[in-house]
Amino acid sequence: MAVFLILPLAIFLLFVIWPFVQAIYYSLTDWGGFSPTMNFIGFDNFVKLANDDTFMQAVFNCILLGIFVPLITIVVALIIASVVTVAGPSKGTIRGVKGSGFYRTVSFFPYCIPAIVIGLIWSQVYDPSAGLLNGFLTSIGLHKFTNFAWLGEVATAMPASMFVIIWGFIGFYTVLFVAAIKSIPAEIYEAVRLDGATRFRTAWSITLPSIRDNIQTAYIYLGIAALDSFVYMSALFPNAGGPANTTLVISQDLFNTAFRKGQFGYATAMGVVLAAITLLFAAIVFGIVRLTKGREEGRS
């Protein structure tokens, strides 16, 4: 077994662990990215980050995305998955609503589109003067949205961006949850139906506990994707940051610092912070899931 593990372990160390070690070292230098020399400056870059208002705004924005994007995406995907699998007639075979296959296919369409294309499409939809959204709203009498800049207002830029990211993710996680729900024996749903359980009670007491591991995995993957969001934000805000940097994410700030300002050491420090936030996020999710699972097992 050890012989067979040597090659995979070597590849993992070379292409995963070693780049992390290099990144940590570069973050402790003043490397400009294109010079052969660099000076070791210790934790000066991290101290500078703590006092960088732009970076701290980016951290705050990433935390917002990491909280709301996975939460809303999973809730909506679970609702759709439940509707197309077990929300059909209350009598007869357990199945989804009529036309569930069509709804499942339509919901998956956005995931088939590359993220950059999704961002570009919605940037046109949000266009103040020629966008479909303002055109539709004004056509039904909401004239206050005439030439309304959804991506140009502090109050709406982040919610509008979140909607685009969620719209792009829902399809895949709907299919994931559909597969998970279908793995639950139909006899369980038939039993709770005979006991007179409501649909909400069934979803809360049967569906969610049965697919807990799938939800945990989905939340972690969604959180990691939301903490980055570089492609979506770059497509929606080509100049990076949005109004008053309300949509700036760490990866955008990192890119600008490295390739536009030539401060690779400082930018690498941003990457290290982003990696730490991502690991912390995953640890929190695992901890919450384990804690709640332990409580339920204790009650039972």
Amino acid 96: pLDDT: 75
Nearest to 133 by CA among 115, 156, 103: 156
268 burial via Cβ count (<10 Å: 0-12, 13-18, 19+): buried
Provide the pLDDT for residue 295. 63
Contact 26, 271 (CB under 8 A): no
pLDDT value at residue 92: 66
> Does 281 fall in a domain?
no
Longest pairwise C-alpha distance within the chain: 74
Query: In this structure, are 136 and 206 located in the same domain?
Result: yes
Residue 289 CB coordination number (10 Å): 17
User: What's the number of domains the chain is made of?
Assistant: 2
Are both 90 and 45 inside the same structural domain?
Answer: no
86 and 158 co-located in one domain: yes
Q: Say how many residues make up the chain.
A: 300
Instruction: Give the pLDDT of residue 298.
Output: 59
Q: Is residue 186 part of a domain?
A: yes
- Name residues of the chain where pLDDT drops below 70: 92, 294-300
Instruction: Give the pLDDT confidence score for residue 143 in this predicted structure.
Output: 87
164 shares a domain with 88: yes
For residue 97, give the 3-state DSSP assignment: coil
115 and 165 assigned to the same domain: yes
Domain co-membership, 85 together with 47: no
Check residue 299 and give its pLDDT.
Answer: 60
pTM of whole model > 0.85? yes
Query: What does the pLDDT look like over 144-192, one tens digit per residue?
Result: 888 899 999 999 999 999 999 999 999 899 989 998 998 888 888 888 8
Q: Are both 33 and 134 inside the same structural domain?
A: no
Q: 184 lies in which domain range? A: 55-263
Q: Is there a domain that residue 269 lies in?
A: no
Same domain, 38 and 68: no
